[in-house]
Structures are given as structure tokens and as C-alpha cells.
């Protein structure tokens, strides 16, 4: 009888140990390597779809500088939620949009990531992105827009985002399986 109790106890302790190791591994992974993300809404369509499930890299946010057109995950403290957007303007730049053209420091910048067929289908009177008056960003500010410009709450709504609000960048879509791949 003592052997049975000891065997049961050993099994329980082994299970609890594995459970603790699993929790620690998941915690370390999601706080230092990659953040799990679920896309909500269509603000990044067609690049990202509603309900896409992904991992966003935490490592390369620390190792590399944020670049124009990176896809980033941003924390909105006033709503206690995370959103996914694209970096359009970098610190200390003056950006504007005029007649669907992105203008950075007076120069037109091509937005090759936008799907031309989708832009055409969603344009209102030939305009996909309504004009944005010139705005000069501070030394810690980024201007972020959704790829689905007519249907995105982004810097046009929230204003510039601070570097501290950007929690990760680049996404690896893991579900649905038909969309597996990196989006950056």
C-alpha cells in the first residue's frame, strides 16, 4: 500500500513540475521572444485579415531600429488593448499625404506595400487616403496607418505614437494555415 501512495505522489509531483516548467517557458517566450497576437478588425486588410493569429517578434524590436513600413503592434493604454499598424512616419520627420501620395520631408515616397487592386476598389471618388496636413513628429514619435486606410483608426485618430507604445514588430501568421508566413 505504501508503494501505491508513493507512486501516486511521485506522479503528482512530476506532473506539477512539468506544469511549472511549461508556465515558465511560455512566460519567457511571450515576454522576451515573441508576443502572440490576434488581429481584430480589417484596418490592415488585405495584408492582415480579421482573426489572423500570429506571433510578433520582440527580439528584433530590441536589436534593430524601427523602419518605415514595418508592421508593428502598438499598445493603447487608454483602451488597454493592442492594435496592429504600419509605420509611415519616423521620429523628427514631417509627413503629409496629398492626393494619395505620401510626402516625407518634402519628398514623395512610394507605398509599394499597398495592393493596387484593393486601393482601386476601396477608393472614394478616386481617393484611397484622404489628405493629411503636414505634421512634424517629435524625437520619440511615429506616425502609423492601417493598410485599409478608409477603415482604420490610426494616427489620424489617435495622433502620433511614442516608441514606448510599440511593443513588437513583424508578424508570423500561424493561423489560418492557408496564410502562414511573415508579414513585415
Domain ranges of the chain: 35-183
The predicted model gives 27-50 an average pLDDT of 89
The predicted model gives 20-42 an average pLDDT of 87
- Cα-to-chain-centroid distance, residue 88: 13
Residue 4 known to be catalytic: no
Q: Which of 3, 5, 14, 85 is catalytic?
A: 85
pLDDT band at 61 (very low <50, low <70, confident <90, very high): low
Q: Which residues are within 8 A (CB) of 136 and not within 5 positions of it... i.e. 6 or more apart?
A: 92, 93, 94
For 74-98, the pLDDT digits (tens) are 999 999 999 999 999 999 999 999 9
Query: Is pLDDT at 4 greater than 80 in this prediction?
Result: no
Q: Who has greater pLDDT, 183 or 39?
A: 39
Residue 5 known to be catalytic: no
Query: Is pLDDT at 1 greater than 70 in this prediction?
Result: no
Question: Using an 8 Å Cβ cutoff, are 87 and 81 in contact?
Answer: no
Q: How far apart (Å, rounded) are the C-alpha atoms in residues 146 and 141?
A: 17
Query: Is pLDDT at 63 greater than 60 in this prediction?
Result: no
- The per-residue pLDDT for 58 is 81
CA-CA distances (angstroms) from residue 96 to 79, 89, 111, 153, 182? Answer: 27, 9, 13, 17, 29
**CATH number of 35-183, picked from 2.10.109.10, 1.10.150.170, 2.60.40.420, 2.40.128.20:** 2.10.109.10
- The per-residue pLDDT for 12 is 86
Q: Who has greater pLDDT, 1 or 85?
A: 85
What does the radius of gyration of the chain's CA atoms come to, in whole angstroms?
Answer: 22
pLDDT band at 5 (very low <50, low <70, confident <90, very high): low
- The per-residue pLDDT for 62 is 61
- Count helices and strands in the chain by DSSP H and E runs: 4, 12
Q: Which of 43, 57, 152, 155 is catalytic?
A: 43
The predicted model gives 26-50 an average pLDDT of 89
Beta-strand runs (E) in 90-140: 94-98, 101-104, 107-109, 132-136
For 121-168, the pLDDT digits (tens) are 999 888 999 999 999 999 999 999 999 999 999 999 999 999 999 998
Amino acid at each position: 500500500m505504501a508503494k501505491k501512495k508513493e507512486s501516486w505522489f511521485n506522479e503528482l509531483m512530476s506532473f506539477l513540475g512539468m506544469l511549472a516548467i511549461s508556465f515558465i517557458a511560455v512566460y519567457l517566450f511571450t515576454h522576451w521572444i515573441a508576443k502572440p497576437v490576434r488581429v481584430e478588425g480589417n484596418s490592415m486588410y488585405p495584408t492582415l485579415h480579421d482573426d489572423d493569429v500570429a506571433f510578433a517578434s520582440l527580439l528584433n524590436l530590441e536589436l534593430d531600429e524601427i523602419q518605415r513600413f514595418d508592421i508593428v503592434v502598438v499598445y493603447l493604454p487608454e483602451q488597454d488593448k493592442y492594435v496592429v499598424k504600419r509605420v509611415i512616419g519616423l521620429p523628427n520627420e514631417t509627413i503629409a499625404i496629398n492626393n494619395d501620395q505620401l510626402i516625407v520631408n518634402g519628398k514623395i515616397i512610394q507605398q509599394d506595400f499597398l495592393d493596387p487592386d484593393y486601393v482601386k476598389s476601396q477608393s472614394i471618388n478616386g481617393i484611397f487616403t484622404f489628405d493629411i496636413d503636414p505634421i512634424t513628429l517629435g524625437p520619440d514619435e511615429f506616425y502609423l496607418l492601417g493598410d485599409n486606410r478608409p477603415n482604420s483608426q490610426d494616427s489620424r485618430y489617435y495622433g502620433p505614437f511614442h516608441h514606448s507604445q510599440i511593443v513588437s514588430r513583424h508578424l508570423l501568421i500561424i493561423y489560418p494555415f492557408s496564410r502562414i508566413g511573415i508579414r513585415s
